[in-house]
Chain A
Amino acid sequence: MSEHNLLRVLEIGTEGAAGYAGKLFSRWGAEVVRVDTGSSLAVPTRLARATDLYLHAGKARIAVNLENTGSLEVLRRLADHCDVILVDGAAPALDEIGFETLGGARSQVRVAITPFGLTGPHRDWQGASNVLLAMGGQTYLMGDEDRAPLTMPGRYLAYQAGQFAYTAAVACLRNHAKADDPLPTDNLDVSQYEVAQTLHQFTNVMWTFGGNVRSRHGNNFGVIHPITMYPCRDGWFAVNADPIFWDTFTVMLNRPELAADPRFNSVAARVENAEALDAIVAEELGPKSRAELMELGQVKCRMPTGVLSTLRELLDDPHLTARDFWQTLDAGDLQLKTPGSPFRFVGEAMPSPGTPRPPVDATEWLAATAGERGHA
């Protein structure tokens, strides 16, 4: 039996945050009903199609054009049949669909994932991934110090917001399931701007504790060196030579005498003399291939070492293959490898990613659902 197989989730939104949370619910057994509104139905590019397949395979889909008269009533009726309401978008868009009352008292959990939250002076502001990463202090850390800061491609913040939303929503649902009497609806307000700030490792405490502002240093971590990525014969490799691994790194370099070299024998000295150290690394390790560096670093020296892998290489990677990480997504005209669950229950089969489903008419869905679970 799966975890959420008595649960129905209504998902609305185009940002990817509700989509990722819905994907988690769907993978672990809930019936997720995704509402494709006018804008989310458009699939204009290949990346948009890839994103749609990745996030929404396995979900039931209902097309609702919000510009049509009566569409809000349809949304309300759909919501009345669901235990969890999961919505993303800017706060004004949530206001337009009457988010705060969707599902009425029947819903157990109502989740809003917005750029800036449902309250505060910026609640109505527009957010996009690069904008929220910038405002949340992440972008200032990425890129070269003498060039424009870099944003992170993809929907990292949105999906992380989805993970926060799912965690909090399932925590709430457990209490509803255990209660003898129905509990009031739990309202969850997830801000992607806050997610960006929560996911700093030490940037905030560098400021609050030490008065230091962290900035960007290309591929260098900045405060410890070398934690960085270097070019090599067929690409790039990364090392994490923090103080614990400095001596090991000198062995990997085949230059053990550097451990005691006054230019490099402390964290501060290595940061100060990073250029000289990088030149040695380029000379000793630069001519090697990525495979040779992984063998030397990880197998022979037990040094934290990684290599820059392409997407194609990862799709064929022997480790991920041995772990059965990739699953098959049947997209009709395409059979695609798709990432499996980021976690697994050992000894149990990983749930399927599901198959893409065509949208059904809302009226048909409502008719088929009428009478279920006391929602007639």
Chain B
Amino acid sequence: MPDGPLRGVRVLDFTHVWAGPLCSRTLGDLGAEVIKVEAAWARGTATPPAASPFTSGASNPNDDHWNRQGVTNKLNRNKLGICVDSKRDEGRDVLMQLVRECDVVVENFSARAMKSMGLDWSVLSAINPAIIYVAMPGFGHSGPYKDYVAYGTVVEPMCGLTSFMGYGPDEPRVTATAVPDPSAGMAAATAIVTALSRRDRDGKGRYVELSLQEAAIALFGEYFLLEQMGETPQPSGNTHPDYSPCGVYPASGQDDWLAISVRDDDEWRRLAAVLGPAAQDDGRFSDRDGRARHHDVIDEHISAWTRVRDKASAMAELQAVGVAAGAVNRTSDLLADPQNCARDYFVELHAPHMNSMQYAGLPVRINGKRAEGWHAAPRLGEHNREVLTGLLGMDDAEVDALYDAGVLTEHPPG
């Protein structure tokens, strides 16, 4: 099992898609015992899918493809997996028994879902008054939008960011990463450790609620204050309101780019020395306001310099003199990156059902360590028997009966 500061905390994980699994994976990376509960259809059907950019890594495309999906394996490392039919009384009973043995229940269904399954806070807290129950629907459990169908992609424009991100006022752009999902995923992790800390003191469980929308707003909070101070931020490409120059500049390779940010006059002097006399000696650029006024001229100087250099060497040259510069990396650039390699950031995990694969790690090292005892994501229902016998004290015959009744399974339908 993973080692870490949350060792001893047990989490019953009903999450799906991204925000919820990111939260529970983070807890697992930090040492919590996470039991992921899945429905039989959670990974699709048994029919092999058409080619997908997300799912591969298979040695045999006709065998257990549902266990070899990239996103599933990425988000569910360090978890145990059970596959239970929660719509059956026997399945629901298994889940209720598990709630008694857990510290945390986390889910990110719509506001109605857990209630319809008979597994909402009022039920679970009656079973286990010390349980910490975390719900993370798109718009929360109250308010006029509570029943809206929410995905991070449609919540994002309702968080404020999109009103000031883009090439210009008439060209807003979204992030392409559904920012409310990872915002809420990490906010949920902060909520859980806070609730655990509180429970350590008073012994009481808590009902924690958060919305994707509010979690994302919180990560751009200063812009709401700025609006009230009389300044409405507008989309302005890659410029920065306080730093100048700041931009993304073309490098010599096809679709290669370099990001540069100059935060004060010292950094400008260092950059200008690299760019040459035309930039260095131009008095218009000596302070931030001047550089902001003449941003277009400076951008031309920088582009002339970057355009004839490859992004990696330009980055290294500027960093060597203390200028914040970074290549616009593709994902294919990251695995071999010397910094990532030196810090063992990507973690190789393997299991009998999976080829060995590299996964992005936890961005925190504790006492110099990361990924102690980490393991690959489980197969669908892989730990049914282990969890029910080990944690609930069932015998093999009882577990077999649940398999025979279709309450437990390790195979998707179809």
- Asked if B197 and A4 make an inter-chain contact with CB atoms under 8 angstroms apart, the answer reads yes
A85 at the interface (CB under 8 A from B): no
A208 at the interface (CB under 8 A from B): yes
If the complex has contacts A171-B4, A209-B70, A227-B153, are A186 and B367 also in contact, measured as CB distance less than 8 A?
A: yes
Q: How far is the CA of A361 from the CA of B245 in the complex (A)?
A: 36
Cβ distance A80 to chain B, nearest Cβ, rounded Å: 21
Contacting residues of chain A (196-213) with chain B, CB-CB under 8 angstroms: 197-213
Interface 9-residue window, one of B50-58, B381-389, B392-400: B50-58
* Set of chain A residues within 8 Å of B140, measured between Cβ atoms: 323
Cβ distance A246 to chain B, nearest Cβ, rounded Å: 14
* Set of chain B residues within 8 Å of A344, measured between Cβ atoms: 208-210
B178 at the interface (CB under 8 A from A): yes
Q: How far is the CA of A133 from the CA of B247 in the complex (A)?
A: 12
Interface SS of chain B: mixed
A163 at the interface (CB under 8 A from B): yes
How many B residues have CB within 8 A of the partner chain? 151
Q: How far is the CA of A166 from the CA of B219 in the complex (A)?
A: 14
Contact of A49 among B229, B238, B326, B364 (CB under 8 A): B229
- Asked if B163 and A308 make an inter-chain contact with CB atoms under 8 angstroms apart, the answer reads yes
B313 at the interface (CB under 8 A from A): no
- Asked if B227 and A315 make an inter-chain contact with CB atoms under 8 angstroms apart, the answer reads yes
Interface 9-residue window, one of A153-161, A279-287, A366-374: A153-161
Residue of B nearest to A190 (CB): B364
- Asked if A213 and B339 make an inter-chain contact with CB atoms under 8 angstroms apart, the answer reads no
Interface 9-residue window, one of B86-94, B154-162, B272-280, B405-413: B154-162
Among the interface residues B121, B206, B328, B361, which one has the most CB atoms of the partner chain A within 10 A?
B328
* Set of chain B residues within 8 Å of A170, measured between Cβ atoms: 190, 193-194, 196-197
* Set of chain A residues within 8 Å of B218, measured between Cβ atoms: 159, 339, 341-342
A360 at the interface (CB under 8 A from B): no
Cβ distance B387 to chain A, nearest Cβ, rounded Å: 23
If the complex has contacts A171-B30, A314-B158, are A221 and B330 also in contact, measured as CB distance less than 8 A?
A: no
* Set of chain A residues within 8 Å of B98, measured between Cβ atoms: none
Contacting residues of chain B (183-225) with chain A, CB-CB under 8 angstroms: 183-184, 186-191, 193-198, 200-202, 206-211, 213-215, 217-225
- Asked if B363 and A194 make an inter-chain contact with CB atoms under 8 angstroms apart, the answer reads yes
- Asked if B167 and A143 make an inter-chain contact with CB atoms under 8 angstroms apart, the answer reads yes
* Set of chain A residues within 8 Å of B191, measured between Cβ atoms: 342-343
B259 at the interface (CB under 8 A from A): yes
* Set of chain B residues within 8 Å of A135, measured between Cβ atoms: 259, 326-329
A26 at the interface (CB under 8 A from B): no
- Asked if B214 and A156 make an inter-chain contact with CB atoms under 8 angstroms apart, the answer reads no
* Set of chain A residues within 8 Å of B151, measured between Cβ atoms: 240, 242, 304
- Asked if B70 and A198 make an inter-chain contact with CB atoms under 8 angstroms apart, the answer reads no
A291 at the interface (CB under 8 A from B): no
- Asked if A47 and B200 make an inter-chain contact with CB atoms under 8 angstroms apart, the answer reads no
B342 at the interface (CB under 8 A from A): yes
- Asked if B328 and A139 make an inter-chain contact with CB atoms under 8 angstroms apart, the answer reads yes
Contacting residues of chain A (218-239) with chain B, CB-CB under 8 angstroms: 218-219, 221-223, 227, 229, 236-239
Q: How far is the CA of A2 from the CA of B179 in the complex (A)?
A: 30
Cβ distance B300 to chain A, nearest Cβ, rounded Å: 14
- Asked if B343 and A191 make an inter-chain contact with CB atoms under 8 angstroms apart, the answer reads yes
- Asked if A236 and B179 make an inter-chain contact with CB atoms under 8 angstroms apart, the answer reads no
- Asked if B331 and A338 make an inter-chain contact with CB atoms under 8 angstroms apart, the answer reads no
- Asked if B178 and A201 make an inter-chain contact with CB atoms under 8 angstroms apart, the answer reads yes
- Produce 1/0 per residue, B342-364, CB < 8 A to A: 11010000000000011111111
Residue of B nearest to A51 (CB): B222
- Asked if A133 and B259 make an inter-chain contact with CB atoms under 8 angstroms apart, the answer reads yes
- Asked if A240 and B365 make an inter-chain contact with CB atoms under 8 angstroms apart, the answer reads no
* Set of chain B residues within 8 Å of A45, measured between Cβ atoms: 241-242
Q: How far is the CA of A254 from the CA of B18 in the complex (A)?
A: 31
- Asked if A207 and B177 make an inter-chain contact with CB atoms under 8 angstroms apart, the answer reads no
- Asked if A128 and B343 make an inter-chain contact with CB atoms under 8 angstroms apart, the answer reads no
* Set of chain B residues within 8 Å of A343, measured between Cβ atoms: 187-188, 190-191, 194, 208-210, 215
If the complex has contacts A204-B334, A319-B139, A342-B214, are A188 and B56 also in contact, measured as CB distance less than 8 A?
A: no
Contacting residues of chain B (205-263) with chain A, CB-CB under 8 angstroms: 206-211, 213-215, 217-233, 237-238, 240-243, 246-250, 255, 257-261, 263
B71 at the interface (CB under 8 A from A): yes
B282 at the interface (CB under 8 A from A): no
B144 at the interface (CB under 8 A from A): yes
Contacting residues of chain A (139-167) with chain B, CB-CB under 8 angstroms: 139-144, 147-156, 159-161, 163-167
- Asked if A154 and B219 make an inter-chain contact with CB atoms under 8 angstroms apart, the answer reads yes
Q: How far is the CA of A191 from the CA of B136 in the complex (A)?
A: 27
Residue of B nearest to A116 (CB): B339
- Asked if B222 and A54 make an inter-chain contact with CB atoms under 8 angstroms apart, the answer reads yes
A sample of 17 inter-chain contacts (CB < 8 A) reads A116-B339, A141-B175, A148-B237, A163-B190, A167-B193, A171-B30, A186-B367, A203-B331, A205-B71, A239-B154, A306-B156, A308-B162, A310-B232, A311-B163, A319-B139, A325-B214, A325-B217
Leading 3 A-B pairs by shortest Cβ distance: A205-B70, A306-B154, A194-B363
